[in-house]
Structure 1
Amino acid sequence: MRFTSLRLRLVLVFGLVALTAAVTASGIAYWLNREAVLTRAQDAVLHDFKDELEDRAGVLPADASREELRQAAEQMSRSSQNFSVLLMSTSPDGQPITAPSAELDQFTLADVPLSLREAVNREQKLTAANPSPYHVYWQRTVDENDTPCLVAGARIADGPTGYMLKSLEPEAKDLNSLAWSLGIATALALVGSALLAQAAATTVLRPVHRLGIAARRLGEGKLDTRLQVSGTDELAELSRTFNRTAAALEHRVAEMTARDEASRRFVADMSHELRTPLTAITAVTEVLEEELDAETGGIDPMIEPAVRLVVSETRRLGDLVENLMEVTRFDAGTARLVLDDVDIADQITACVDARAWLDAVELDAERGVMARLDPRRLDVVLANLIGNALKHGGSPVRVSVRVEDAPAAPLAQLAPLTPHVGHSAHDVGERAEQVADADAGAEGAEDSSEAAGKVLVIEVRDHGPGIPEEVLPHVFDRFYKASASRPRSEGSGLGLSIALENAHIHGGEIAAANSPEGGAVFTLRLPLDASAAAEQAAVEQQAAARQRQRSGR
């Protein structure tokens, strides 16, 4: 059990409260009983001593002999209270005479405190309220053996002075027994309070534990999580509040998911519907472009700029529609990998050559580095990264390739959990569940390929001004453009986002940074063998289909 747990704190608080209450009650009870016992014994002894002193010593003359004093003291000590007696008088020649109650008695005048002797011998003024010049005085002391004693004394007018010593050891033993009993009762009360605290903590913490589990399930995207509620206390009200909150959240997420799904369907339908007229427009613009390039000059020079603008904007619109279609496939989870064995150096060369970038790109890659990837999607990633570097950083753009050991956490497990702009929290919860399904489906699989545990790293570096620090976190966001003053540009704002999605579906990642030597660096990391990522993507798509079916119900 952790020392910071609520259960332990509750037990400690209960224990401290019970201990404080038990100790306080025991202390008060002990003090009250002690005073009662001592007062009762003291009153009985003093009353008996006073009576015996008046009856025995009161009849003695003022100049009584030692033997007379001893006999009187012995008779006084035979009282039911069994105390020692010491009588004192003055001889005719003025010498003090002392006589104990027994020859072997250890009670001497030295056992009587000086203050008590002074009080006993002090003569009081006679008044109507005080008919006697001398009174009985007492004091509690301890002897040389630390035994509690009661010492009392009184003087008889025109007679001897008597002192009494009474041992309070029986009363002390009774009080010690009482103290042990109260201590045991305190310990039992502490144990009982700990048991009660444990029971109370269990009663209180069980609903809290269930609430914590439900909150974690809710955070994992299982929005149908609810708590069983019984009772009318504060914890029951908290559970009802949680259920109402979860229901409202599920309803709100369902609405957002429905709107998001409707938006995706709208984009997909719009893109699909645009393709037909766009195909016709593209055909016309190709004819116009041929006329522009014809040596005969078949187009009026006055309208040539307008024709060129139409041609360029038509191409831009075509690229935008294709990008929207690709984004829609990623969002719908229908994107597929078509794997093939690819020579990376040849693939990069073909990508650069197809776009006439050979003079602007420096390639640092050894031939023979083979990877099992989707060539079409890798071409899209490379085209976007190199094209972006040429557009914003200028030539020359350097592309380097190397192979590294895979990190401790496979990229294929990390990438699918990355949320993208436009995805709801419910989508992230679905992605987490999909990855869990993928891990369960891939458990126990063995990969005997030589590429297992290796990562392909492709760096694309330009020599431009670099990427502003405030722009770096958003370079892969959809439709994001660094310059707000240039909302219209040749790009659609989807290129890098599509490149990142293509890297994710391979089980890889893309990172953007600024080089210390100047310029921006985009680092693409892909597994040398994306077979596992393809299988995982298939499992994810099946899980997403099941989730959509459950949501549809």
Structure 2
Amino acid sequence: MPKRRKSLRRRLTLWMVLVWGIIQGTVVLLILLYEGAAVDRFFDDRLKGRSLGIGAEIRPLLPDLTDVQLEQIAIRNTDDYIMFKGFALVVYANDGRIIASSDQPAPPYNQIQREDQSAIEAGRAFLTDSYHFASLREAPGKERMVLVGIEDRDQQEYELLVVTTDAAARGLTARLQQVLIIALAAGLVGAATSAWIISGVATEPLKRVLDSMRKISPGTVGQEVRMDGGSEELAVVRREVDAMRSRMEAGFKAQERFLSNVSHEIKTPISVLLTEMQTLPSLGETPGDVREFIVSVGEELRRLGGMVESFLLLTRVRDGQPVQARIGTYQVNELIVDSMESCAGIAEQYEVSLVPILLDDPEDLDLTVNGIPDLLRTMLDNLVRNAVRFSPEHGRVIIKARRPSDSEVTIEVRDFGTGIPPGMLDTIFDRFAQNESEVKRGRGHGLGLEIALGIAEIHGGGITVENCDDRGCRFIVRLPIGDNPAASRVRGGAPDQEIENHPDDREK
């Protein structure tokens, strides 16, 4: 089974969302990279500024600064500045001695000098993993320190080591990441919604084209294809569809002319055979069985001639040509009985029983339809013969008449065969439409049902088909009752009257 492809609208939506996702993801990544560095710089600048402030507090206390004083300064600055989650302070003399420390033990000065030398020389903050201060072990984040120079009142130089954690910077970065992720998700949802709407607008003309093309069928090929919209692309498609429709119409007309010509050619040998069959009995005594054979062959030839004439008549009627036809009334029950007699031979050949269910209401016994009797008979014969061919041996075909309303009568032809493949239900009445099994067996030419539908339509009715729940299928013929104005699709009532036919009538 071939893999079903996604619709054009879905593919366009997916592509637009994918492109938008790539663009938005790239922007988010760049923002994260930039903001990460920007947050670090912001934090380092604040740490450097706070270190200078702490140095200003310590300067008056030098050189007699104690550990307790330095610890109090660290606590006070932690409480006053929520950005920093604690401080560890160490003051070194110019020769590297530890003057005071808020955290014990304090790292020796030479160990600090082995850290990021470039950052120390530039006075920048830097991370350290070589030493951890006890007062900062419980604080989140990594330890970050800065070394600044200070002088006492006597211009004696000292080094102040200020250590804190970068928890605030990491928290700010995490919140920024959350905001960007939410924005990315919301952007994708918005992009998907917008893409679905935009792709719907973009594919709407294509849907109109497809809807218009679906309406093209053998019965509507002569009608102009209408497509609303003024875009240049749609105008090109409209012209191409009209050109295709014109080619199809020309092809169908060529087929009809060919079939009409063939039918004309067949009429001549049939007439000759009928004439010769009629002269056979006058040639002398013939045995009874031969006489029966002659009569049977003559009846079949007359039936064949009638079918050819009916087909020619139908072709002229559907093509809008005026024809000479005998129009009258046909009793519905009589139509069914006549059709059963006509199809008895093929039913016997296939060992199928024909079961009639006639109108039995006293008011409906004489119910009639107006029309061309030969065509009505051909219509029902085609349906019955089709049902017989698709019935199993010793099966049955039910021909049931019913009056569902005061203006309409239906004739149902029901078989108990395999039914119609679901894929053919919409095309079963198309010209040359055949089941594959029938094509392989060489039975039929795919014209019988198309002819039957055409006859029903020119009589103001129609034919529907459906598969039955148990098995088989049913064809339902709808015809207007004789005194119904809808029956005026076949004009007249007097025999041999000329009929003006309009092909578009049956499409209304």
* 1:298-325 per-position Cα deviation (integer Å, ceiling 9, x unaligned): xxxxxxx9x9999998876654443222
Q: Kindly indicate whether the alpha-carbon contact (under 8 Å) linking 1:23 and 1:186 is maintained by their aligned counterparts in 2.
A: no
Percent identity reads: 14
Match runs of 1:445-456 below 5 Å? 447-448=405-406, 456=412
Aligned with residue 20 of structure 1, among 25, 28, 31: 25
SS at 2:254 equivalent: helix
Of 48-57 and 261-270, the range deviating more from structure 2 = 48-57
Match runs of 1:101-500 below 5 Å: 108-109=102-103, 117-118=106-107, 120=109, 122=111, 139=127, 150-151=144-145, 164-165=161-162, 172=168, 176=172, 183=179, 187=183, 194=190, 198=194, 205-221=200-216, 224-225=225-226, 236=233, 242-243=237-238, 245-267=240-262, 270=265, 274=267, 282-283=274-275, 285-293=277-285, 319-333=303-317, 338-343=328-333, 347=337, 351=341, 369=360, 370=364, 372=367, 447-448=405-406, 456=412
> Which TM-score applies when normalising by structure 2?
0.52
Residue by residue, what CA displacement relative to the aligned partner does 1:109-136 show, whole Å, maximum 9, x if unpaired?
A: 15xxx7xx445364989xxx9xxxxx99
Q: What per-residue deviation string (whole Å, max 9, x for no partner) do you get for residues 219-238 of structure 1?
A: 3126645687767xxxx5xx
Unaligned runs of 5+ in 2: 1-6, 82-86, 118-122, 151-155, 217-222, 319-324, 491-498
Equivalent of residue 33 in structure 1, options 38, 42, 59: 38
How far does the alpha carbon of each residue in 1:67-120 deviate from its partner, in whole angstroms, 9 at most, with x for none?
56479969x9999x998855589xxxxxx99857xxxxxxx315xxx7xx4453
In structure 2, the partner of 1:545 is 503
Whether the 8 Å CA contact 2:376–2:455 is kept in 1: the answer is yes
Q: Structure 2: how far apart are the matches of 1:189 and 1:492?
A: 61
How far does the alpha carbon of each residue in 1:224-256 deviate from its partner, in whole angstroms, 9 at most, with x for none?
A: 45687767xxxx5xx576356425413421431
Aligned mates of 2:343, 2:142 — CA distance in 1: 112
Q: Displacement of 1:512 after TM fit?
A: 12
Cα displacement (A) at 1:28: 1.8
What are the superposed Cα offsets for residues 429-463 of structure 1, whole Å, 9 maximum, x if unpaired? Answer: xxxxxxxxxxxxxxxxxx446x87x76557799xx
Classify the secondary structure of the residue corresponding to 1:109: coil
Q: Is the 8 A contact 1:137 1:154 kept in 2?
A: no
Provide TM-score, normalisation by structure 1: 0.49
| SS of the residue 2:30 aligns to | helix
Question: Deviation per CA, 1:317-362, whole angstroms, max 9, x where unpaired?
Answer: 654443222122334445998554444699369948999x99x998
Higher deviation after alignment, 311-320 or 321-330: 311-320
CA gap of 1:351–1:143, structure 2 versus 1, over 3 A, is same
Q: 1:30 to 1:315 in 2, by over 3 A?
A: same
Q: Which residue of 2 aligns with 1:535?
A: 486
Alpha-carbon distance between aligned partners in 1 of 2:297 and 2:467, rounded to the nearest angstrom: 29
The residue identity in structure 2 corresponding to 1:109 is D
Contact 2:343 2:381 in 1 (8 A): no
1:71-110 superposed matches below 5 A: 85-86=89-90, 108-109=102-103
- Partners in 2 of 1:387 and 1:185 — Cα distance? 71
After superposition, the CA RMSD in angstroms is: 7.4
The C-alpha deviation readout for 1:256-292, integer Å capped at 9, x for no partner, is 1341343255346556xx56x9757744652343223
- Specify every segment of 5 or more residues in structure 1 that has no aligned partner in the other structure, as ranges: 61-66, 90-95, 101-107, 130-134, 296-304, 407-446
Structure 2: which amino acid aligns with 1:120?
Y
What is the CA–CA distance in structure 2 between the aligned matches of 1:349 and 1:190, rounded to whole Å? Answer: 71
Query: How far is the alpha carbon of 1:163 from its aligned partner?
Result: 5.8
Q: State the shift of 1:27 in Å.
A: 0.8
Do the aligned residues in 2 keep the contact of 1:385 with 1:522 (CA within 8 Å)? no
What's the CA shift string for 1:150-196, capped at 9, x where partnerless? 5457999xx99976446689x95999499769948994996699479
CA contact under 8 A between 1:22 and 1:189: conserved in structure 2?
Answer: no
Provide the C-alpha distance between the structure 2 equivalents of 1:346 and 1:292, rounded to a whole number of angstroms: 38
Contact 1:460 1:522 in 2 (8 A): yes
Tell me the distance in 1 between the aligned counterparts of 2:465 and 2:181: 71
1:388 and 1:284 mapped to 2: Cα distance?
31
Question: C-alpha separation between the residues in 2 aligned to 1:507 and 1:548?
Answer: 9
Q: Which 10-residue stretch deviates more, 14-23 or 383-392?
A: 383-392
Q: Is the 8 A contact 2:466 2:474 kept in 1?
A: yes
Q: 8 Å contact 2:92–2:100 — kept in the other structure? A: yes
State the 1:5 CA deviation: 4.5
- Do 2:415 and 2:473's aligned partners in 1 also have CA atoms closer than 8 Å? yes
Answer yes or no: is the 8 Å Cα contact 1:85–1:163 preserved in 2.
Answer: yes
2-structure distance, mates of 1:403, 1:342: 8
Is the 2:383–2:449 Cα contact (8 Å) retained in structure 1? yes
Distance 2:332 2:200 in 1: 58
Aligned to 2:153: none
Counterparts in 2 of 1:163 and 1:43: CA distance versus 1, 3 Å: closer
Amino acid in the other structure paired with 2:38: N
Aligned to 1:436: none
Distance 1:174 1:354 in 2: 95
1:213 positional shift: 0.5
Letter in 2 for 1:215: L
Distance 1:193 1:388 in 2: 57
Tell me, what secondary structure is at the counterpart of 2:284?
helix
Equivalent pairs counted in the alignment come to 427
From the superposition, tell whether residues 136 and 161 of structure 1 become closer, same or farther in structure 2 (CA, over 3 Å): farther
Cα offsets for 1:1-24 (capped at 9, x unmatched): x9x846754664455335413421
2:322 is matched with which residue? none
CA distance in 2, matches of 1:478, 1:71: 107
